Amino acid sequence: MSRADGLSLHAFTDLDDAPEIGPYVAALEEFDRLPLLVELKHLGIQRTRTGPGARVLDVGCGFGLESLRLARAVVPGGAVTGVDASARFVAEARRRAAAEGLAVTFVEGDAVALPFPGGEFDVTRAERVLVYVPDPEAALAEMVRVTRRGGRIAVIAPDFDTNTVGVGDRATTRAILAHECDTAVVNGWLPRRLGPALAAVGAHEVEVASRMVVLTPDLAAAYFAGVASSAAAAGVVGEAVAAEWTAELTRRRADGTLFAAIGYYLFTATV
């Protein structure tokens, strides 16, 4: 999600081909500050018992936002490793860790073939990444493999069918949001299968928590403008309808009546 029109979620699957990553960094930083998402992440830390001495793996770490926070949480004696498919994000994560004097290890790697031995970590987490992975069950199996027996898993993921915005008539808004759910990411309904998927790869004591994460007006206006544009480009709605819908979005942003949110889910389990 982004401040800038035209910043598509599709690009997060191949950022190394993007002209620049600055807009994506800014988008993730803005989203990362949303209070109810922060609350859900704190709950994940509690449920996985992430604290001093813990060895933590952050799968799909991006440029290290959460990895750096976790590095502070596991001292003394702990260690945090971040893995991401984007070389540019890994380089940015290393830069930030060095600037903050934090000893975090960042490596390039694939979520479905993690470059670590079995049982290496006490806690393995993945936040807002498995929706982009074509085979999330394979990624979960890898997360279980690299976590020690008795260790903990945490996954935070959105359900794109819970996208909510107070704009337009029902039929138009439903069409636009359904198109986003079905096309923006590989697994728009991922939370609906995460519980059984965790059990299938050997995790147990699965717990679920959720938050309806309310977006800031700026974030909502920019994101949903792109959603409408994408729906129009695909012929889901007409160009004129999309323009009218986006104009209302802009007006509501300006007069303070814009409401938007999306449901996020935290799954934790024991290996």
* Position 157 pLDDT exceeds 90: yes
Within a domain: 247: no
Domain of 97 in residue numbering reads as: 9-162+185-214+262-270
For range 142-157, the mean pLDDT: 98
* Position 10 pLDDT exceeds 80: no
Helices 170-183 and 239-255: crossing angle in degrees, nearest 10, is: 100
What is the b/e burial string over 61-100, where b = at least 16 CB atoms within 10 angstroms of the residue's CB? bbbbbbbbbbbeebeeebbbbbbbbbebbbebbbebbeee
Residue 121 pLDDT grade (very low, low, confident, very high; cuts 50, 70, 90): very high
pLDDT cut 70: percent of the chain above it: 92
For range 239-244, the mean pLDDT: 97
Structure confidence at residue 48 (pLDDT) = 97
Span 13-70, pLDDT tens digits: 555 555 566 777 888 889 899 999 999 999 999 999 999 999 999 999 999 999 999 9
* Position 11 pLDDT exceeds 70: no
Domain count, the chain: 1
Span of 18-22, 68-72, 144-148, 193-197 with lowest mean pLDDT? 18-22
Structure confidence at residue 185 (pLDDT) = 95
Q: Are 238 and 175 in contact (CB under 8 A)?
A: no
- Domain CATH for 85: 3.40.50.150
Within a domain: 42: yes
For range 96-125, the mean pLDDT: 97
Within a domain: 167: no
Within a domain: 41: yes
Within a domain: 76: yes
For range 93-113, the mean pLDDT: 96
* Position 122 pLDDT exceeds 70: yes
251 Cβ contact partners less than 8 Å away, ≥ 6 residues apart? none
Structure confidence at residue 27 (pLDDT) = 82
Within a domain: 2: no
For range 145-169, the mean pLDDT: 97
Within a domain: 225: no
Q: Choose between 26 and 250: higher pLDDT.
A: 250
Angle at 169 between CA 165 and CA 171, to 5 degrees: 95
Structure confidence at residue 1 (pLDDT) = 37
Within a domain: 1: no
For range 178-188, the mean pLDDT: 96
